Amino acid sequence: MAVLHNKVSNKELKEKMMTETEPRKTFSFYRYFPIEEPLIFRDELYSYLFQLNVFGRIYIATEGINAQVSVPENRVAHFRDYLNNLPGMNNLRLNPAILDNGKSFWVLKIKVRSKIVADGITDSAFNMQQKGRYVDAKGMNEMLNDPDTIIVDMRNHYEYEVGHFIKARELPSDTFRDQLPMAVDMLKGNEDKNIVMYCTGGIRCEKASAWLLHKGFRHVFHLDGGIIQYARQVEENNMENKFIGKNFVFDNRLGERVSNEIIAHCHQCGKPCDDHVNCANDGCHLLFIQCSECAEKMNHCCSEECKEMLSMPEERRKQLRSGIDKGQHIFNKSKMRLRPRLNILNEKKG
């Protein structure tokens, strides 16, 4: 019988991955195309990728596929051939990671969702096939040099904080679904201007470009392959790099350096730093920026409360975090959302 779900603990799998000696490659890919039976598609995909020892996070929906994966180096060709032979996925481009230590994922998770990117769109007239025009690295640089072109970053605020294109406009939000109406409001009055949208690998800005066209904007572009493909093209063609800082990624690495500039700051002491970490207290697990000095001083925690909690016996910590929804927990300066669950933890301590 085919294996369709992981049955080993995350802790064991991560420890096993960290001791692996076989080299791996990290890729991201997506495609918008109709999938009539997402559950069947998901199970068949899981069964094959499990045999290849592929790790990663993949989302399937009726609108397509979105994936970030870690593939054993000696099985990349098999992996690529398999994907390209699936209906609707021929000539699929795999975006290799910019910086890759082979330790990006340690388990395979494939989930069926209503959308591959949660967008909040309920308008039945919206057509994903009517999207903006692609622009490559050369075209992106040319448009960045044009003072009349508007560049829009379609990533979350914490991604923008550590790295972005010169003159890019930020949409300060935690979610893509909030950014779509924000983008329309921000760009009102610029319906006839060139607008270029970008994101990490292309999936969010492609949908955003279609949404802007749907809302009456006429000259909409999106960066082909996102920041990942841009960085590769710039390096391969010895072009000027107009992306400053680090590219945030949603895996164990939490970032890839694209340029040497450090444009963010430690959320605890304020010194230049762009290293995202998760609070070591499992009852918190806040995503925030922390320098090495603060990490040592705070025992890799976001606060004195979490540092104190981390020093408690494990059984006591389990009691305190029992029933707490960790959900999306990200430090956001604009909303001052630092440690929203600590009040609950402190109540339990009392």
**Residue type at 322 in one-letter notation:** S
Integer Cα distance of 170 and 177 in angstroms: 15
Cα–Cα distance list, 212 to 54, 105, 184, 200, 219 (Å): 36, 34, 7, 19, 9
Helix (H) / strand (E) containing 120: none
The residue count of the chain comes to 350
| 269 torsion bin: left (phi>0), alpha (psi -120 to 50), beta (else) | alpha
199 is catalytic: yes
Task: Tell me how many helices (H) and strands (E) the chain has.
Answer: 12, 15
Which one of 199, 279, 284, 306 is the catalytic residue? 199
The DSSP symbol for 224 reads T
In the chain, the largest separation of any two C-alpha atoms, in whole Å, equals: 62
The sheet carrying 64-72 orders its strands as 95-96, 24-32, 64-72, 55-61, 108-112
Integer Cα distance of 324 and 106 in angstroms: 25
Integer Cα distance of 111 and 54 in angstroms: 15
Active-site annotation, residues = 199
